[in-house]
Amino acid sequence: MKVYNTLTRKKEEFVPMEEGKVKMYVCGPTVYDYIHIGNARPYVVFDTVRRYLEYKGYEVTYVQNFTDVDDKIINRANKENSSMQEISDRYIEEAFRDADGLNVRRATIHPRVTQEMDGIVEMIQTLVDKGFAYADNGTVYYNTKMFPEYGKLSRKNLDELIAGGSERVAVDDAKKNPTDFVLWKPKKEGEPSWSSPWGDGRPGWHIECSVMARHHLGETIDIHAGGEDLIFPHHENEIAQSEAANGKPFARYWLHNGFITVDNEKMSKSLGNFFTVRDIAAQFPYEVIRFFILNGHYRSPINFSRELMQACQNGLERIKNARKELDFYIKNAQDTKMTAEEKTRSAELGNYKAQFEEAMDDDFNTADAVSVIYELVRFSNIAVKAGVSKEYALMIQDMLDHLCGVLGIAEVQEDTVSDEDVAKIEALIAQRTEAKQAKDFAKADAIRDELAAMGVTIKDTRQGVQWSKE
Ligand code: AMP
Ligand code: ZN
């Protein structure tokens, strides 16, 4: 399996540190609002990476944090006359609701910054003791000049950064070098704070992830992931902190997802093209949002538009319909064994699996993996029409479920229609069949209308009447 490693700018063979085990950290959202469609991309993409790793037999420890200490959360709390804790608790819960809707599995551990303060203070102290950090009036800075490899992930050169005055390098007179960054900042009046050897205050953003990754996964981890905007400075700074404090390489593979634009423009609140996942879920089912994200390769930019979402909805419907047809076929088919010809053809089924794995093994190419599923859907529809044996239909169904399950799409829903409704619907269908046999078409049509009013659509097939309820 090959993965593109931002650190080396190459696709590399994936070999975890410990055989059969993967330690993976994904930067999570700052919780001051609902998650937006951009945030949904790393959620869905790295959930799929995890599912595929598990499919390959790895035991994955997946850590995704919540940043629950931040200026944006404090501002929101002040505006609403609330507390930072209340705001972050609320939006963590909302983020979980969206993640559940998107079929994103819970991480093994979801650490929160507020619960990691001891570790944060300890790591900053180590950096000070080792000469990588300095304190000035209650603020502690990381001294980037002390870490010769600074810039190795983003391929930025320190001198260029300083001369160019990059917008991401904050100006501050107390810093020894313009690229130095804050590890600890002093308390401001009315803000939450924690005690430290440098006075009361709170941590900078970057140190949080270094500490949470080490606490829950160890000093060296296999995969570190997040959106591409995090490469600099966030991930660059994480490397500087972790490698200086631990004296060991931090993450072996760095994976970054591309950005989502809206109508080909950068998504921003001021342009009015900013969508939360919740906004979109009011217009399209959550599963379509997941499918939309997986229709592109995770490193390519993707553009969000209503037309594309519509196309994805239709595509997903096609897969789900094929699945339903198969289900119905199998329920109603006689228990027949595969014919000799089917036995030969069943090898073709294995080809779909091989192609799917080939796509996913190539740096998680979900776009190609989805194409393979479409081909399997075509294969399945033809088989059902041709009236294959039940044993063969079951094999196709297994394969379709198997591949869709890896991507977390078109999963089989438990039947939500009550037993009472099922009995009523089936009685009406039986009456309609009788009416048709008696050539009483007016009655048959009336029953069809009655069923439609109940939200039931019916379809006459060779195996009998197929029905579904909204
Ligand atoms: P934030 O809450 O802004 O720190 O973002 C949380 C995660 O979402 C990070 O991994 C970001 O890189 C990612 N992210 C933010 N905006 C977008 C976007 N428009 N497209 C893709 N990923 C994004
Ligand atoms: Zn992070």
- Choose between 447 and 274: higher pLDDT: 447
Task: Give yes or no for residue 267 CB within 6 A of ligand 1.
Answer: yes
What does the domain layout of the chain look like in residue ranges? 2-257, 315-407, 419-469
Average pLDDT over residues 444-464: 88
pLDDT band at 200 (very low <50, low <70, confident <90, very high): very high
- Choose between 415 and 249: higher pLDDT: 249
CA–centroid distance, 19 to ligand 1, in Å, is 31
Task: Report the distance separating Cα 302 and Cα 143, nearest Å.
Answer: 37
CA–centroid distance, 167 to ligand 1, in Å, is 18
Residue 417's pLDDT is what?
80
Q: What is the number of the ligand closest to the CA of 91? A: 1
Nearest CA, atom 17, ligand 1: 38
Task: Give yes or no for residue 274 CB within 6 A of ligand 1.
Answer: no
Task: Give yes or no for residue 259 CB within 6 A of ligand 1.
Answer: yes
- pTM given for the model: 0.89
Q: Which amino acid is at 83?
A: S
Nearest to 295 by CA among 318, 276, 267, 274: 318
CA–centroid distance, 53 to ligand 1, in Å, is 23
Nearest CA, atom 16, ligand 1: 38
pLDDT band at 169 (very low <50, low <70, confident <90, very high): low
Structure tokens, 102: 């998107």
Task: Give yes or no for residue 261 CB within 6 A of ligand 1.
Answer: no
Q: Residue 285 above 80 pLDDT? A: yes
- Choose between 461 and 58: higher pLDDT: 58
Atom of ligand 1 at shortest range from CA of 227 = 12
CA–centroid distance, 289 to ligand 1, in Å, is 16
CA–centroid distance, 279 to ligand 1, in Å, is 17
Q: Residue 168 above 70 pLDDT? A: no
pLDDT band at 415 (very low <50, low <70, confident <90, very high): low
Contact 249/5 with Cβ under 8 angstroms?
no
Task: Report the distance separating Cα 48 and Cα 297, nearest Å.
Answer: 12
Best of 34, 39, 257 for a ligand 1 pocket test (most atoms within 8 Å of beta carbon): 39
Nearest CA, atom 9, ligand 1: 227
Task: Report the distance separating Cα 431 and Cα 73, nearest Å.
Answer: 61
Determine whether 309 is exposed, middle or buried from the number of CB atoms within 10 Å of its CB (0-12, 13-18, 19+).
middle
**In what helix (H) or strand (E) does residue 42 lie, and over which residues does it extend?**
helix 37-55
Nearest CA, atom 18, ligand 1: 38
Task: Give yes or no for residue 203 CB within 6 A of ligand 1.
Answer: no
Lowest pLDDT segment from 176-190, 349-363, 401-415? 401-415
CA–centroid distance, 269 to ligand 1, in Å, is 14
* Residue range 57-112, pLDDT digits in tens: 999 999 999 999 999 999 999 999 999 999 999 999 999 999 999 999 999 999 99
CA–centroid distance, 268 to ligand 1, in Å, is 12
For 152, other C-beta atoms within 10 Å of its C-beta total: 15
- Quote the Cα angle for 228-231-232, to 5°: 125
Tell me the pairing of strands 181-186 and 201-203. Answer: antiparallel
Residue 459's pLDDT is what?
86
CATH class of 315-407: mainly alpha
Task: Report the distance separating Cα 362 and Cα 52, nearest Å.
Answer: 12
Residue 468's pLDDT is what?
84
Q: Residue 166 above 60 pLDDT? A: no
406-438: burial string, b at 16+ Cβ within 10 Å, e else: bbbbbeeeeeeeeeeeeeebeebbeebeebbee
Task: Give yes or no for residue 296 CB within 6 A of ligand 1.
Answer: no
Q: Residue 165 above 60 pLDDT? A: no
Residue 163's pLDDT is what?
62
* Residue range 112-130, pLDDT digits in tens: 999 999 999 999 999 999 9
Q: Which of 2.60.15.10, 3.60.20.10, 3.40.50.620, 1.10.10.10 would CATH assign to domain 2-257?
A: 3.40.50.620
Residue 272's pLDDT is what?
75
* Residue range 23-65, pLDDT digits in tens: 999 999 999 999 999 999 999 999 999 999 999 999 999 999 9
